[in-house]
């Protein structure tokens, strides 16, 4: 690869040298993609701080749901989105399986308990939509419980929105081959293998069943009031940037820098 003067200057910077050292093959083209991605991410994160300040100042309540197949990159996206936010004014909610008490409650009750107070943003790493896909696929709920959820979910979300909550729903979509590759990476990484659960073990085997219930979920709950945003997430960096762009575009904070939040194509750093 022939490097221009401008590219050489970027690679000779602190970020450029770090990017090169991060790359085992020391490929300058990959380092340049990483620099571009991190620069774009930083700009969007600056806007996100402005957005959070607006939420706090105006006592707004924001709920952002992250859904998708196992290993789709939901957690990684949430970490990039929240890493520079004021920790006192946002929460990340990733609930475990319901305990005995919660199993006897109305299904939505445990999620209602996690809704934001005035001036707070809550990020759900999986949400009440567990009952739309994960639970029926893995026989964690009955058909009756599933049907009740599907009958109630739109009314539940209507109540949230009508009460003044800004509700955003993001779905990270990956291919079967990509999920298989990511599971292998997780299993072979001593720092990540704890993430691989019994549910993950069956995910590839149950791929078609997941697809069936995912499509039913979209058909029922993709409403004008609370639409789904589907992100193609085979390329993690691109999905993270697009998630940030979507959030910043949808939340009506002031003053927005429209030039920053307008969509800009990013080459994936893993290519």
Model confidence pLDDT, tens digit, residues 120-168:
999 999 999 999 999 999 999 999 999 999 999 999 999 999 999 999 9
Give me the torsion for CA of 164, 165, 166, 169, rounded to 10°.
-140
What stretches of the chain show up as alpha helix (H) in DSSP? Answer: 5-11, 14-22, 28-57, 74-82, 100-103, 109-112, 134-137, 143-162, 176-187, 198-203, 207-221, 236-250, 258-261
Q: State mean pLDDT over 210-216.
A: 98
pTM of the prediction?
Answer: 0.88
- Name the residue with tokens 């930083």: 42
At 172 the pLDDT is 98
Nearest CA-CA partner of 80 in 229, 240, 249, 239: 240
Identify the residue with better confidence: 19 or 158: 158
Domain ranges (residues) in the chain: 44-261
> What are residue 268's phi and psi, to 5 degrees?
-70, 140
pLDDT at 13 over 90: no
pLDDT in tens, 100-129: 999 999 999 999 999 999 999 999 999 999
- Which CATH entry fits the domain spanning 44-261: 3.40.50.300, 3.90.1580.10, 3.40.50.620, 1.20.200.10? 3.40.50.300
């Amino acid at each position: 690869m022939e490097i221009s003067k401008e590219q050489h200057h970027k690679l000779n910077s602190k970020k450029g040298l770090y990017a090169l050292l991060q790359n085992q093959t020391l490929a300058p083209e990959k380092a340049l993609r990483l620099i571009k991605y991190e620069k774009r991410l930083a700009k969007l994160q600056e806007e996100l701080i402005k957005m959070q300040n607006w939420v706090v100042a105006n006592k707004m309540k924001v709920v952002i749901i992250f859904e998708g197949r196992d290993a789709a990159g939901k957690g990684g996206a949430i970490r990039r989105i929240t890493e520079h936010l004021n920790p006192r004014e946002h929460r990340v909610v990733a609930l475990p399986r319901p305990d005995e008490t919660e199993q006897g409650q109305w299904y939505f009750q445990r999620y209602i308990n996690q809704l934001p107070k005035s001036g707070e943003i809550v990020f759900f790493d999986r949400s009440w939509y567990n009952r739309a896909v994960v639970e029926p696929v893995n026989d964690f709920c009955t058909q009756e419980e599933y049907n009740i959820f599907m009958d109630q979910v739109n009314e539940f979300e209507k109540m949230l929105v009508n009460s003044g909550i800004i509700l955003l729903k993001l779905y990270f979509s990956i291919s079967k081959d990509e999920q298989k590759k990511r599971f292998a990476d997780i299993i072979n990484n001593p720092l990540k293998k704890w993430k691989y659960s019994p549910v993950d073990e069956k995910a590839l085997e149950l791929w078609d069943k997941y697809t069936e219930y995912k499509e039913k979920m979209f058909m029922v709950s993709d409403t004008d009031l609370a639409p789904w945003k589907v992100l193609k997430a085979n390329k993690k960096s691109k999905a993270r940037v697009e998630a940030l762009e979507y959030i910043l575009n949808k939340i009506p904070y002031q003053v927005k820098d429209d030039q920053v939040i307008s969509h800009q194509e990013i080459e994936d750093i893993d290519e």
